[in-house]
Amino acid sequence: MHISRSCKLSAVSGLALALCLSSPAQAQQASDDGQEQADESGGNTIVVTGLRRADALQDAPVAVTAFNAQTIEDARITRPADFVNLTPNVNLVETQNAGNAFVVIRGITQARNSEPSVATVVDGVLQVNPAQFNQQLFDIEQIEVLKGPQGALYGRNAIGGAIIVTTREPGDTLEGSITAGIDNGFGYYVRGGVSGPIGENGGFRLSGSWQDTDGYIPNPFLGEDADPVENLSLRGRLMFDLSDNVELDLRASMDQLRTQGFYFNIVNDVNDTSLPVRVNNAGIDDRDIYNVAAKITVEGNGFTVTSITSYDTVSEIITGDAFDFLPTNEAFCALASDPCFSGSIDLNQSQYLDVEAFSQELRFESPANDDLFWMFGGYLISTDRFISTGNMLDLDKGVFPVYREPTTNPDNPQYSFLSDTQDNFAWSVFANLGYQFTPEFRADASLRYDHDKRKNITETPNAWLGYINFIADQFDAAQSAQGDVRTRSFSDWQPKFTLTYTPSGDFTLYGSYSRGFRSGGFNQTGVGVVAAANGIVGVDDVFEAETADTFEIGFKSQLFDNMLTLNGAAYTTQSKNSYFFVFLYANSTQNLGNVPKTRINGLELEATLRPHPDVTLNAAWGLTDSEIKDFPDPTVIGNEAPLISRTTFNLGAQFTPDIGGGMNALVRVDYRRTGRTWWDVYNSTVRDPVHLVNGRIGVENDEWGLYAFATNLFDEEYNAEFSPGGFVFKARPRVYGVEATARF
């Protein structure tokens, strides 16, 4: 019998969820523990757990794209952008600010300083801050991207969908792997993991990643690259069977990133990539993330109890140039007859974020194989956040970080300063109920109630509130003072109903209604009056909560004796109070406004063809059509919603032939077209379609592999981000290199 290359590798490395195709697979059943289970033909299937129960991927009544461990390795998925670019109707807006990477799923967007548009869950633990999302991916077992509101299942921030990341668990024997490589940065990196038993009832896994590169985007003014990176990530996991029915899962992780910040260009057209980066201050962007979590699972008589406790900290300090991001002698103020600012002709800036969060979830659920599935529980999270922003006078002596207090540094005097503390406490209760009426028909209903209480305290010293209070006087608005307290509560119900019809083992039809909810919050103190003074509508000191109601129908099919997998979905969403971003140059603040109503319609198709065990071909297409239905400025009504790409299109091919001597070759090519993208509510500029090609080629056996790779193979030039005011951030150019992997 032919044993496929992916089966051989998964057997060596202990990958429990590899997709092995020794022969066309038949209908398969998910095992009780959510792992894959072989059918009579010897094939296996990917099992997804995003619906809080184990389902074969093709049986799950939800639009989900899943990547198992073998695909993650073959496609060289090492950061979120890699799997996002393989998923239809999902985009990632990457910025030069490491803590800001915006996931856009089916037109549900994210913006700077907003809550995320997607719930990201790592080993059962919900990430609590969007600054945690853009990290290195290593030693990963599986990634699931669920599209459409998942609030009834995941609650907080699942308004656009959910991303479920499962890291590799400890094994029963000592095993591991290590990958090392170099690229044209010039950069090098190492990542890997090792796992083994602890006594008779426990196991450990240690994994990590280190990246060091000089960068890829030149800054000719400073004679160096603008985007050097030093990134250290570590993760440890311990699992113990405390008794026959009690399992303890302990997890700790850290991520330390060191790079540079604020190297924008200012243009009118997002397609203008002609300007080089020419900031005179290299700046810094230092982000530290720490997490510890404990998961306890107790198997009772006819039920399971799960407790998940997590503690997270995120801090990020960013310094660099300010508008217009040119050397001081070329800045717009330098060309004026008098300096714009007292004692200086240019500004630089600093921003500081410090977040601490504690969360707890407790849920009870029925056995996985019962026709009647039920689950109920509760969740709470307490978050303390401090943020400060400010401008300093650029005296050509460098830019220095400013944390909780205005600087007194004479080489970089403070020009403006704002700071706020936010104390947030949120809780929710939820219940899910599903019943398999017949082998063909199933119904599921879920309901969740979320309540989020937020308190904002003005920490800005009174001496630095003069400009805001001056503007407030002009508009007869309330004065601001240090110690001012603002409180707001946001709450909503999140229902989800799904009907599933499976007339045969190779065809599934489903329909659903779901609501997603994302809490509102506070802009920094005094933003509302500054926005009004600058003629900006829709922005105030408070931004409102967002809801998204979605109706969806979809199908999943396996054709030609399972040689072809074809899935599709159509949906319509009404979004209320979606976010849009505004940068206020007057006080150097990043702010959120609300679009009262937006209609989003979309389609998705995904196909995978396996004409031979060594050949996989895939294609996917997504359409997102958005229209702003209500806005304070009537000229905006009818426009496309910001940050949404009209279409996505994917093509991919992988060839893994046996070349003899126990060796396999790997040849993989992935193409992604991201369609036209609008960036603000006024549709003032639209980015042309972006075409990206990634490739990987190599040889491997059970113990080692040697590969060459390239991302953005044809060196497509485009801007990854456009912010109102003309701020653009250059996308990463072509990156290529070689790497080697050893397994034991």
Mean model confidence pLDDT for the chain:
89
549 has a pLDDT exceeding 80: yes
Residues 6+ apart with CB under 8 A from 33: 54
| pLDDT tens by residue, 691-713 | 999 999 999 999 999 999 999 99
| pLDDT tens by residue, 9-18 | 333 333 233 3
Mean pLDDT of 210-217: 97
Find which of 170-174, 210-214, 335-339, 581-585 is predicted with most confidence, using mean pLDDT: 210-214
6 has a pLDDT exceeding 80: no
Q: Which residues of 571-586 are buried (b: 16+ CB within 10 A; e: fewer)?
A: bebebbbbbbbbbbee
pTM of the model: 0.89
The percentage of residues in the chain with a pLDDT greater than 70, rounded to a whole number, is 93
Closest CA to 414 of 389, 378, 440: 389
Q: Which residue has the higher pLDDT, 117 or 271?
A: 271
20 has a pLDDT exceeding 60: no
User: Number of structural domains, the chain?
Assistant: 1
For residue 587, what pLDDT is reported? 62
Distance (Å, whole) CA 117 – CA 425: 19
Distance (Å, whole) CA 574 – CA 549: 5
> Which amino acid type is present at position 558?
Q
Mean pLDDT of 65-94: 94
Q: Alpha carbon of 110 to those of 81, 93, 116, 171, 501: distances in Å? A: 15, 9, 6, 38, 34
Which DSSP string corresponds to 346-407?
A: -EEEEEEEEEEEEEEEEEEE--TT-SEEEEEEEEEEEEEEEEEEEEEE--SS------SS--
For residue 586, what pLDDT is reported? 63
For residue 52, what pLDDT is reported? 76
How confident is residue 337, by pLDDT bands cut at 50, 70 and 90? low
- Strand 690-700 relative to strand 521-522, pairing: unpaired
> Which amino acid type is present at position 228?
P
C-alpha angle 6-10-16 in degrees, rounded to nearest 5: 120
Mean pLDDT of 270-282: 95
For residue 23, what pLDDT is reported? 29
Domain span at 478? 5-743
Q: Comparing 59-63, 155-159, 345-349, 485-489, which segment has the lowest mean pLDDT?
A: 155-159
Mean pLDDT of 300-328: 94
Q: Which residue has the higher pLDDT, 493 or 369?
A: 493
Diameter of the chain measured on Cα atoms: 83
CATH number at residue 697: 2.40.170.20
Contact assessment for residue 675 and residue 683, using Cβ atoms and an 8 Å cutoff: no
418 has a pLDDT exceeding 60: yes
Mean pLDDT of 114-135: 86
How confident is residue 112, by pLDDT bands cut at 50, 70 and 90? confident
For residue 467, what pLDDT is reported? 78
Closest CA to 433 of 2, 23, 24, 52: 52
Q: Alpha carbon of 561 to those of 305, 508, 609: distances in Å? A: 40, 16, 11
Contact assessment for residue 505 and residue 26, using Cβ atoms and an 8 Å cutoff: yes
Contact assessment for residue 141 and residue 15, using Cβ atoms and an 8 Å cutoff: yes
How confident is residue 536, by pLDDT bands cut at 50, 70 and 90? confident
